[in-house]
Amino acid sequence: MFSFISGDDELYFSSDGRADGLGGLDIYVSKITENRITKPQNLGKPLNSDKDDFSFILNYETRRGYFSSNRNGGKGDDDIYTFIQEIPIEFECIQVVKGVVIEKYSGRLLAGSLVVLQDENGKELNRKITDDDATFSFEVECNKSFKLIGTKENYSKDAAEFFSTEGKDLIVPLQLISEEFVSERGKCLVRINPIYFDFDKSDIRPDAEIELKKVVEVMRKYPDIIIEGGSHTDSRGTFKYNESLSARRANSTVQYIIAQGIDPNRISAKGYGETQLVNGCADGVNCSEKEHQFNRRTEFVIVNYEAIKHKYPEICPPTAVSAEEQIEANFDIIVDRKLESLNSQFETNGDKITIKINPIYFDLNSSYIREDATKELTKVIHIMEKYPNLIIECGSHTDSRAIAKYNHWLSERRAERTVDYIISKGISRTRISGKGYGESQLTNKCADGVKCNDYEHQQNRRTEFVVKNPEILKSMQ
């Protein structure tokens, strides 16, 4: 009853049918966002009483409001009361984070994946097994750091950290990589644990059977692959003996796989004996048992890899090496040291040096980080990573509309939210601080009582990232 929507999308109404009421009609408020309406909050005393309180209205710029009430102490039946809001209402803020779990190289949907939601300390908050569409969805509080971890048997895990914001649903995809195959020595192999045979035997042992079943499952999953089962020995024993033993073992493994229903035309056997040693343990070389064990192996090589790699890009995908990995691997790379000039990243405002970014906007009377603001904050983070000794103050400013106390509180909250976001991305808390200046540092004439348009007020609503140790930058020039 008696509903009213303010200019900042706050829905006010009165109700006498809610459990948290104080008596008669009470005034409630909900925030209208793009995706939902927040749970109604009772505005409490002194706005509400044990009588009827209703017809609430509020000027969202000046924060002066009015309502009617038949409470005790009035001049008649229903009286009109006025007030000034000094502290903003903090609404429950929920963001939906959702995504889909796919195989990284093929884009194939991975139904049956486990997705776990953790808080910034690694505590599990929720989990879900994906259905056939491989999608997941969680509701999280705004302005907090979280982590998603996706796993599935025979796939590498993927993890993604994110910072929740107010507004649109957040899309966080998870990409797992198949671990059913491995590239070794220029060959694409089915990944299995070592297959062991008893000494001088070629019979399939129970532990070997477990690994061979993996090969069978892979061949059923990818019906176009053709495999060679190759058996290798170490260099001990005569060359002819090793060749014969490896041939028997290769044939035993292949016959087992064929017996499971695999087309014989898709798999062949070959014994290599000691002809393809993977280390230097040839005849006459003194090696440990562990070194010899590396040569005693059974491999299942995809022999038609070139023919099927485009159809199944997740099978032994080519791996790109990043610049960082090249450096770590001691590769010689040429780095362009002509970094963009300091002038393109910083600017001087009076006696202050600030990081140059586009304006950061907040919704009116809100301190929640918007999606468009995260793009600018990412620039700040990259600069702080680039200059690891830089110390920054995040200063938040408002215009002069609303009372000074309200503006100071709002700017403090905005600065705090902004700093929390930057810290959540790995910047040390010792390198950044937040301060709310309210309306104390206006950049133009638009003080209390001066008539200005919204563009002029907007010049005062700003967030600045001030360099507190500018001598660091001077030393780089």
CB atoms within 10 A of CB 430: 7
Q: What is the pLDDT of residue 327?
A: 43
What pLDDT score does 334 carry?
Answer: 34
Provide the angle, in degrees to the nearest 10, between the axes of the packed helices 371-386 and 404-424: 60
- For the chain, give the number of residues: 477
Residues 6+ apart with CB under 8 A from 163: 143, 144, 145, 146, 369, 374, 421, 424, 425
How far apart are the C-alpha atoms of 12 and 48, rounded to whole Å? 13
Asked whether this chain's domains 190-308 and 342-474 adopt the same fold, the reply is yes
Tell me the average pLDDT across 380-405.
90
Q: What is the edge-to-edge ordering of all strands in the sheet holding 392-397?
A: 346-349, 352-355, 462-467, 392-397, 432-438
Please report which confidence band the pLDDT of residue 335 belongs to, taking 50, 70 and 90 as the band edges: very low
Residue written as token pair 């393109």: 344
Tokens of 22: 């104080």
Domain 94-176 indexed as CATH 1.20.120.1200: no
Work out the end-to-end distance of the chain between its first and last CA atoms, rounded to an integer number of angstroms.
Answer: 65
Mean pLDDT over residues 376-404, rounded?
90
Residue 142 above 70 pLDDT? yes
pLDDT for 325 equals: 45
What is the DSSP secondary-structure string of 219-273?
A: HHHSTT--EEEEEE--S-S-HHHHHHHHHHHHHHHHHHHHHTT--GGGEEEEEEE
The two structure tokens encoding residue 187? 């060959």
Q: Which residue, chain included where needed, has tokens 């002066």?
A: 64
In the chain, the largest separation of any two C-alpha atoms, in whole Å, equals 114
Contact 185, 278 (CB under 8 A): yes
**Residue 152 DSSP class:** -
Percentage of the chain lying above the pLDDT 90 cut: 45
Q: Any idea which of 131-135, 432-436, 450-454 has the lowest mean pLDDT?
A: 450-454
Q: Would you place residue 458 in the very low, low, confident or very high pLDDT band (cuts 50, 70, 90)?
A: confident
According to the CATH classification, is domain 342-474 in 3.40.1360.10? no
The whole-number pLDDT of residue 25 equals 95
**Domain extent listing, the chain:** 4-84, 94-176, 190-308, 342-474
445 three-state secondary structure: coil
> How far apart are the C-alpha atoms of 436 and 455, rounded to whole Å?
21
Within 10 A of 340 (CB to CB), how many other CB atoms are there?
A: 8
- Confirm if 269 and 250 have CB atoms less than 8 A apart: yes
CA distances from 284 to 236, 237, 281, 359, 379 (A): 9, 11, 8, 74, 62
Dihedral pair phi/psi, residue 51, rounded to 5°: -110, -160
Peptide bond into 46 cis (omega under 30): yes
Q: Look at residue 41 and tell me whether its pLDDT is greater than 80.
A: yes
> Hey, CA dihedral for 423, 426, 429, 431, is it positive or negative?
negative
Distance CA 120, CA 425 (A): 11
Note the pLDDT of residue 209. 92
Looking at residue 339, what is its pLDDT? 37
Nearest residue to 39 via CA among 90, 87, 92, 94: 92
Q: 190-308: which CATH architecture?
A: 2-Layer Sandwich (3.30)
- pLDDT at residue 323 tops 50: no
Q: What integer pLDDT is reported at residue 477 of this predicted model?
A: 57
Mean pLDDT across the chain, nearest whole number? 86
Give the mean model confidence (pLDDT) for residues 280-304.
86
On the question of pLDDT at 443 being above 90, the answer is no
How sure is the predictor about 337, in pLDDT bands with cuts at 50, 70 and 90? very low
Percentage helix, strand, coil, to 5, in the chain? Answer: 25, 30, 50
Measured CA to CA, the distance from residue 268 to residue 246 in angstroms comes to 14
pLDDT range class, residue 364, cuts 50, 70, 90: low
